[in-house]
Chain A
Amino acid sequence: MLTLANDLSRPLPMVRTGAVPAKEEEAAEIQTLPVKIDIRGLSIFYGKFRAIAEVTMAIPAHQVTAIIGPSGCGKSTLLRALNRMTDLTPGAHAEGDVILDGENILGPGVDVVPIRQRVGMVFQRPNPFPKSIYDNVAYGPRLYGVRKRVELDGIVERSLKQAALWDEVKDKLQQSGMALSGGQQQRLCIARALAVEPSVILMDEPASALDPIATLKIEDLMQQLKSEYTMVIVTHNMQQAARVADYTAFLMIDGERAGRLIEYGPTSRIFTKPEKKETEDYVTGRFG
């Protein structure tokens, strides 16, 4: 949080959600954080059904922001809207704004390719391509026109190192990515996302299909990566949110089954002094 403030700094997210920060210093600290993604009044519709309704939140740069909430509350939908993966669902459309580095990615005529280059994604189940480890990581850079072997070698090595996988695979880069263990596959997917040099990484329950040790590695990785990337994760696991996230957003469905943002703020406050009754009930395990 050293010199991250820039002109994109906006009033802290909690102000908009109506919450009051617990301490003055906390408020002052967050004030200085630059906003990476500013979500304003975002609603996503699947046909006529509104999956998420009027979500407004600002995601700070170089922090881990967790989205939690009960099943079916639209966590994944909200996450997928951040790199326009929602476009892939037939009949889906969005209202509102998602402003990434000052540019509205939902605006008319916006090309999704550069957005998805800047906002990478890691999925719930590890999904390496049925290619070699090397080709998995090199897939993205090749897409953007990197052809030179030396250059690709460098990117592959750097990405695998960042994903803490290099030492385990450096001698078998030509082996299939499918032959790795589940946890290694997930880190390979992270390396693949990092290879195109995004500035935001979205993770949709990245550890839910993994065993506890592999989960721990992924969580460590999130902490390491946040110095260079803005991380947004969706998780079912509240302990995970408490462990890794700097900020936490709690979503819940309203009477029309549309997901709404109930509360958003620093993780420590969401878990210890939630403003809303629903949040408290959820984080203390009374429902969901």
Chain B
Amino acid sequence: MTNTASSTHFIRARRGYTRRRTANAVMLVLTGLTTALALIPLFWIIGYVVYQGGQYLTPAFFTELPTPPGTEGGGVWNAIQGTILLVILAGLFALPPGLLAAFYAAYYPNTPLGIAVRFSTDVLAGVPSIVIGLFLYALVVVVQGHFSGLAGGIALAILMLPTIIRTTEEMLKLVPPSLREASLALGAPEWKTSLQVVLPAAGNGLITGFLLGLARASGETAPLLFTALGNEWFDFRSLIRSGLESGMNPLEILVRIIEQPVDSLPLTLWKYAQQPYPERIHQAWAAALVLMAFVLAVNIFARLWILFRARRMKG
């Protein structure tokens, strides 16, 4: 009697076990499939851009200014320089306030200002990038009377700010409080502790956050439409040369460079892709490839950097 009861119980348990195993197998296949599905667009995009753009990549593409529409040859040297200039300006404008705000938010999280910083970075992250462009148009372009790399750099900086603040804050929170205490117990003032102990300890994360922010900003088009505008004749060397010829000092030349409207790769891509000339369409593809490679390179560099630093930290 007892025997039968226990054996039916056992059989019922076995049946439940089979069902669990089946469900597990099905779910495993499903998650695997959807993961593969999610990866398809990425590789498709990369593959297609490489296929379309790769065939139009020539050395001249990197080193020459654009030729008139409808003619062969020429490159996007203007846009490459412009992208570099915009990214440098954006980094310079975004990094100091971003870092300081993050320190404040991490150290005084429950003060009114600390809460405000976090809330407003979230809101800022949600503001459409074209609105930021429009804002800078009203604030800088209209006031200055012309489009400029400066306005574009500021627009990209505002765009990067939330990424920098949030990643920095998270990274600072990960630094063990005991490190900060150890430094303060030696008599170090708070600012030296932050600069010499907390910042280096959080360094890896900060650099990644910064580079990822830069990578994102370098791919933006919308905020530049109203600010940097585009400039098919932009060339550092000729600006410096003409500046020197008219007897300007280095600072004046620098100001002149950032006062110019500039092009960027995404801006070039956006403009060229709409033009009816096949040469320009081809160059748009090539520009897409260069832009993608740049963003990818920044990402890979950021990760390699972390790997290298982390290994050195552990000794």
Chain A: residues with CB nearer than 8 A to chain B? 83, 85, 88, 112-117, 120-121, 123, 125, 127-131, 139-140, 143-144, 175-176, 178-179, 189, 192-193, 196
Contacts of A192 in B (CB 8 A): 182, 186
Chain B: residues with CB nearer than 8 A to chain A? 176, 178-179, 181-189, 192, 196-197, 200-201, 312-315
Inter-subunit contact B185/A129 (CB<8 Å): no
Q: Which of B179, B183, B187, B189 has the most CB of A within 10 A?
A: B187
A-B interface, 7 closest residue pairs, ranked by CB to CB distance from nearest = A179-B315, A176-B315, A116-B187, A121-B185, A127-B178, A117-B187, A140-B186
Inter-subunit contact B192/A143 (CB<8 Å): yes
> A189 CA to B315 CA in the complex, in Å?
17
Which residue of chain B is the closest to A115 with respect to CB atoms? B187
Contacts of B183 in A (CB 8 A): 129, 139
Contacts of B185 in A (CB 8 A): 83, 85, 116, 120-121, 123, 193
Which residue of chain A is the closest to B192 with respect to CB atoms? A143
Inter-subunit contact B201/A130 (CB<8 Å): yes
Inter-subunit contact B182/A127 (CB<8 Å): yes
Inter-subunit contact B184/A85 (CB<8 Å): yes
Sample (25) of A-B pairs whose CB atoms are under 8 Å apart? A85-B181, A85-B184, A85-B185, A112-B187, A116-B185, A116-B186, A120-B185, A120-B186, A121-B182, A121-B185, A123-B185, A127-B176, A127-B181, A129-B197, A129-B201, A130-B179, A139-B186, A139-B188, A143-B187, A143-B192, A176-B312, A178-B314, A179-B315, A189-B182, A192-B182
Contacts of A115 in B (CB 8 A): 187
Inter-subunit contact A129/B184 (CB<8 Å): no
Which residue of chain A is the closest to B309 with respect to CB atoms? A130
Contacts of B184 in A (CB 8 A): 85, 88, 116
Inter-subunit contact A193/B178 (CB<8 Å): no
Which residue of chain A is the closest to B186 with respect to CB atoms? A140
Nearest-neighbour CB distance to chain B for A46, whole angstroms, equals 15
> A180 CA to B187 CA in the complex, in Å?
25
Given contacts A85-B185, A116-B184, A123-B181, 12 further A-B contacts (CB under 8 A): A112-B187, A116-B187, A127-B182, A129-B201, A131-B200, A140-B186, A176-B313, A176-B315, A178-B314, A192-B186, A193-B185, A196-B186
Knowing A143-B192, A176-B313, A178-B315, say if A193 contacts B200 (CB, 8 Å): no
> A140 CA to B181 CA in the complex, in Å?
13
Inter-subunit contact B200/A140 (CB<8 Å): no
Inter-subunit contact B182/A123 (CB<8 Å): yes
Contacts of B201 in A (CB 8 A): 129-130
Nearest-neighbour CB distance to chain A for B313, whole angstroms, equals 5
- A129 interface neighbour in B182, B189, B314, Cβ under 8 Å: B182
- B200 interface neighbour in A117, A125, A128, A130, Cβ under 8 Å: A130
Which residue of chain B is the closest to A172 with respect to CB atoms? B315
Inter-subunit contact B181/A113 (CB<8 Å): no
Contacts of A189 in B (CB 8 A): 182
Contacts of A127 in B (CB 8 A): 176, 178-179, 181-182
Nearest-neighbour CB distance to chain A for B36, whole angstroms, equals 39
Contacts of A143 in B (CB 8 A): 186-188, 192
> A130 CA to B197 CA in the complex, in Å?
8
Knowing A88-B184, A140-B186, say if A125 contacts B178 (CB, 8 Å): yes
Nearest-neighbour CB distance to chain B for A77, whole angstroms, equals 14
Contacts of A131 in B (CB 8 A): 200
> A83 CA to B185 CA in the complex, in Å?
8
Inter-subunit contact B312/A140 (CB<8 Å): no
Contacts of B197 in A (CB 8 A): 129, 139
